[in-house]
A and B are shown apart, each in its own frame.
Chain A
């Protein structure tokens, strides 16, 4: 990988968000350098699933933001040099508790009014489409435009396209410090040397607070651990992506009527994604355990049990792999796509479980900000200052971690 000692902008982080930011900056003509501690998709972007969805946001501005972010993948599929296994096959929200049906139907109406392609399957429709569904599952709300992709291939494609548009890619490069002068960013210190620049974008997911801390800036992002189980290859067991309605409740921190204490404790809710290779990805869990990414057998067992409840035939398939990743989580569950009190310093993180799906729109918006344009849609509610954290120590000429 090449390196240069000056850049128009330096993006720190080579996951889905970082590579997307670098890609859009490069496409928009900015001389950009991407610095990644390991390789592309080295952190959370390879320890997740590939859902690109709108089902998990209530109707409103943020839901429309997610929809726009999703639509951008249809265009990216045409210009990115890597087949990232994009499949707009839809996602179904499964209901197994009668008490949830009213809320699901309200969500259905709200989304429909927003122009989202949704359909509702009753018990019989569901069995017609999914013959292997568990006997107790009552209904399914289908988000027909929801998609999935392969996150690692996406990151690779974005990085390659950034490079083709003039970006410098520096992998295996650690940022050791950020230098400022008179309230503006000037230099990125790395273990491969200095990069002088006017713009730095912190897009390092859960590691972003550590970088921001180098310049005395507080970014309230916490790592939230999530598990994914991967089965052996199977065929015809399941038709498309599914999640359980309780996932929305678990995500929102609400209590679910039929969840066991263990499920509540580990934030377990059923999510399923059949991959192109024939394996099935099973999730999910949510808990705060610091930077720990070691899979926990107890959490794995509860996820497997929950999956069997929805698809009993999964009991006969082997789990070949399990991984846990860290989702960058903000206090209000919305990303931070924002300038900072330091001129030239931008933050793009906090997407929690939606970083893959929101990567492209984040890249586009950050590129607009760096180039001094007004964002094409209102994202004021994603600004860093909504947390009241503008505690920058401007006096710091050089700060090193």
Chain B
């Protein structure tokens, strides 16, 4: 569904989407990486409906994903990085003492 319009000249990095390794161009966003690999949806609403990236500029919040264990991350604003662990967010995420980054 999504095709790169320019040939890839960039260095490749490996991210892990739902535990599966994914080779993607360095410098693209997590949302682009997920769409480009034909995975489509990135989250579900709390009612269970699937959602995918829509605005790609940080406004619509449809692309919320769990990145490196932290939920509610805007995948369209975060560039991929080597070894990044990305997973879909289903429903409303848990934030708790253990999973959070707070000091």
Taken residue by residue from 65 to 103, chain B's Cβ proximity to chain A (1 for < 8 Å, 0 otherwise) reads as 000001010000000000000000001111111001111
**Given B70, B93, B101, which contacts A234 in the complex, CB threshold below 8 Å?**
B93
B46 CB, nearest partner CB in chain A, Å: 6
Known: A316-B70, A318-B72. A237 touches B101 (CB 8 A): no
Shortest CB-to-CB span from B61 to chain A, Å, is: 8
Q: Contact at A313–B91, with CB atoms within 8 Å?
A: no
Query: Would you call B97 and A132 a contact (CB within 8 A)?
Result: yes
Instruction: Let me know if A236 and B72 touch, CB within 8 A.
Output: no
- Is A38 close to B, CB under 8 A? no
Please determine whether B72 and A312 come into contact, CB atoms closer than 8 angstroms.
Answer: no
Taking the complex as formed, is A308 at the interface, i.e. its CB lies under 8 A from any CB of chain B?
yes
Q: Report whether A315 and B72 are in contact in the complex, using a CB–CB cutoff of 8 Å.
A: no
CB distance from B77 to the nearest CB of A (A): 12
Residue in contact with B102 in the complex, picked from A232, A234, A308, A318, CB distance below 8 Å: A308
Within residues 290 to 338 of chain A, which ones have a CB less than 8 A from any CB in chain B? 308, 312-318
Instruction: Encode A268-294 as 1/0 by CB contact (under 8 A) with B.
Output: 000000000010000000000000000
Are A316 and B91 closer than 8 Å at their CB atoms? Answer: no
B94 and A316 contact, CB distance less than 8 A? no
Cβ distance A307 to chain B, nearest Cβ, rounded Å? 12
Closest to A134 in B: B97
Query: Which chain B residue has the least Cβ–Cβ distance from A279?
Result: B92
Tell me the complex Cα distance, A312–B101, Å: 10
Interface size class of B (residues with CB under 8 A): 10 to 19
The residue from B70, B91, B94, B103 contacting A237, defined by CB atoms under 8 A apart: B94
In the complex, the answer to whether A312 meets B102 with C-beta atoms within 8 Å is: yes
A278 nearest in chain B by CB position: B92
CB-CB under 8 A for A236 and B94, given A316-B101, A317-B72: yes
State how many angstroms separate the Cβ of B99 from the closest Cβ of chain A. Answer: 8
Which of chain B's residues have a CB closer than 8 A to the CB of A234?
72, 92-95
The CA-CA distance from A68 to B72 in the complex, in Å, is 42
Contact of A235 with B91 in the complex, beta carbons under 8 Å: yes
Give chain A nearest CB distance to B48 CB in angstroms: 14
Beta-carbon contact of A237 and B72 below 8 Å: no
Residue of B nearest to A235 (CB): B92
Bound CA span A132–B96, Å = 6
Q: A317-B72, A318-B72 are contacts. A237–B46 as well, Cβ < 8 Å?
A: no
Report the separation of the CA atoms of residues A332 and B101 in the bound assembly, to the nearest whole angstrom: 44
User: Do residues B95 and A313 form an inter-chain contact, with CB atoms below 8 A?
Assistant: yes
- CB of A316 within 8 A of CB of B100, answer yes
Contacts of A37 in B (CB 8 A): none
Asked if A196 is at the interface (CB within 8 A of a chain B CB), the reply is: no
Are B97 and A232 touching (Cβ within 8 A)? no
Given A278-B46, A316-B70, A317-B72: A236 touches B96 (CB 8 Å cut-off): yes
Q: How many Å lie between the Cα of A199 and that of B99 in the bound state? A: 59
Instruction: Give chain B residues whose Cβ lies under 8 Å from the Cβ of A236.
Output: 94-96
B96 in contact with A313 (CB, 8 Å): yes
CA distance A237 to B99 in the complex (A): 11
B95, B97, B101: residue with the most chain A Cβ atoms closer than 10 Å: B95
Please determine whether A313 and B100 come into contact, CB atoms closer than 8 angstroms.
Answer: yes
Tell me whether B102 and A233 are in contact (CB under 8 A).
Answer: no
The residues of A with any CB-CB pair to B shorter than 8 Å are 131-132, 232-237, 278, 308, 312-318
Could you name 20 residue pairs across A and B whose Cβ atoms are closer than 8 Å?
A: A131-B96, A131-B97, A132-B96, A233-B92, A234-B93, A234-B95, A235-B92, A235-B94, A237-B94, A237-B95, A237-B96, A278-B46, A313-B96, A316-B70, A316-B95, A316-B100, A316-B101, A316-B102, A317-B72, A318-B72
